[in-house]
Structure 1
Amino acid sequence: MSNPESFIDEVTEEVRRDKLFATFRKYGWIGILAVLGIVGGTAWTEWQKSQAEAEARAFGDALMMATDASTPEDRRAALAQVQATGEKAAVLNLLIASDPAEDATATLEALNRIEADATLPQVWRDLAVLRRIGVQGRDLPLADRRAALEPLAQPGRSFRVLAAEQLAYLLIEEGKTPEAISALQALTQDQEATGGLRNRAQQMIVALGGEAAQG
């Protein structure tokens, strides 16, 4: 390569370097901000995780202290003092609703709070409905129990098979034995039903004078 060509290459390289440095000087702040944003975002995420973990521990500790109370009255009083929102409030209310024999009114009020909270995932509200139906039993008119259970028995709902089992028991209560047996036989073949539920259904079918469906 001749000296003129080498000189031109050197000049070209210098020009490129100068342009690169000029670009860094002009736009380098964007890169700095991007780095700061990434670092700041990571730190914020870690802080949020730390806060969430601390809140979860504090909530769990408060529940354990409340449930360790020596009497049902002290336990309910301690649970009433626990502060919670969102799904933690659902857990708290389910615990408050765990003693219907001692305080049926407080139990139903706690379950109603869960049912009425539209911000909660459907699974919590469905669980509260099932629990409420069990607590109220025959004190609630059969038609009202069916109206509450039927939506829960629809495909895709978390407690579909449990609601279907309760609906079968309502048929028994109405004296509709053949329909109840058919509903229970369907449950013995339902892939979503647990082994315990299938066994209960089979036992009830036999008690009603029917035959469990063969798998």
Structure 2
Amino acid sequence: MALPPDNTTPSTVRDAAQRDVFLREVDEAVRQDQLEGFMARYGKLLFAVIVIALLAFAGWIYWDHRQTKEREERAEAYVQALDSLQSENLDAAKAKLAPIAAAGASDATVTSARLTLAGIALRQEKKADALKLYAQVAADAKAPQALRDLATVREIGANFDAMKPQDVVDRLKPLAAPGNAWFGVAGEMVGMAYLKQGKQDQAGPLFAAIAKDETVEDGLRSRARQLAAVLGVDAVDDVVDEKGESLIKPAAKATADATAAGE
């Protein structure tokens, strides 16, 4: 099959190449003009934005370093305050704790300092000051939740006799649940509040649950067991065999219940 004649000549190729070079030069010139126009119009603004961003980043680095240094200094001062407290030098401990507690932060060290000051106030029979500090920590949404819960428990423990039973229940009931770290302590106070309200049917099972919880401190479990027994609630766990049947005979179980009631 015959091919069509090739009309391409060296001059035609040269002209096409020159046109391509010219078009590229025009395109580059247009791009250069656009860039120069953009820089002329927005160059100063762009430079200002870059400078501001760099200054902001440098400021953040400085602020973060400053914050870290302040936290370390507060932690060291808190340890020194605890040393004074251990030596029964309450005034020296207060003097070291006061600047920490007054810091604007709500981290663990600052919050712990406030709680420690509240404890010192109680020891010095300054109940109003202690309650104010406990309430401050309990209401601080930025403080660690574990320390807020501790503040709530201590505040109510220090003011239990002056509080209405229902107020005690309302504030402590979220903590008086199995699995909560404060189940034993908070549960005991909720149970006592129930007794003040004449709600033995709610107090008894709660004391029994505390008595059976192995994570609760032994002394508290013993008190709860006695209270549950007085209220007629069994707080003694059965011993069962592999079939799940009780190994404690009725008479023996009655003896165990009587023993629990007499502890």
TM-score (norm 2): 0.59
Alpha carbons 2:122, 2:130 under 8 Å: kept: no
Question: Where does residue 62 of structure 1 map in the other structure?
Answer: 77
1:98-109 equivalent positions in 2, closer than 5 A: 98-99=119-120, 102-105=123-126, 108-109=128-129
Counterpart residue type for residue 135 of structure 1: A
In the other structure, the counterpart of 1:73 is 90
Offset at residue 147 of structure 1 (A): 0.8
1:26-84 deviations in whole A, cap 9, x for unaligned?
32233323322332222111111111112212222222222222333334442465352
Deviations 1:144-165 (A, max 9, x none): 254144134248x987745344
Q: 2:190 aligns with which of 167, 174, 187?
A: 167
Give the aligned partner of residue 113 of structure 1.
Answer: 133
- Distance change in 2, residues 1:176/1:198 (3 Å): farther
2:115 aligned residue: 94
Please, which of 172, 180, 185 is the counterpart of residue 203 of structure 2?
A: 180
Larger Rg: 1 or 2?
Answer: 2
Greater Cα shift, 45-54 or 89-98:
89-98
User: Which among 164, 171, 176 is matched to residue 151 of structure 1?
Assistant: 171
User: What is the aligned residue count?
Assistant: 205
Closer, same or farther: CA 159–85 of 1 in aligned 2, 3 Å: farther
Contact 2:191 2:207 in 1 (8 A): yes
Identity %, equivalent residues: 19
Contact 1:146 1:170 in 2 (8 A): yes
1:129 is aligned to 2:152 = yes
Aligned 8 A contact 1:97 1:111 in 2: yes
1:85 counterpart = 2:103: yes
**1:167 Cα deviation after fit:** 0.2
Change (3 A) 1:48 1:109: same
Is the Cα–Cα contact under 8 Å of residues 94 and 117 in structure 2 kept in the other structure?
A: no
User: Aligned pair in 2 of structure 1 residues 67, 174: CA closer, same or farther (>3 Å)?
Assistant: same
Give the distance between the partners of 1:101 and 1:20, measured in 2 at CA: 73
Contact 2:121 2:129 in 1 (8 A): no
Structure 2 counterpart SS, 1:82: helix
Identify the residue that residue 22 of structure 1 maps to in structure 2.
Answer: 37
Could you tell me which runs of 5 or more consecutive residues in structure 1 were left unpaired when the two chains were aligned: none
**RMSD, matched Cα:** 3.9
The gaps in structure 2 that reach 5 residues or longer are 1-12, 239-263
| Range moving further from structure 2, 60-69 or 108-117 | 108-117
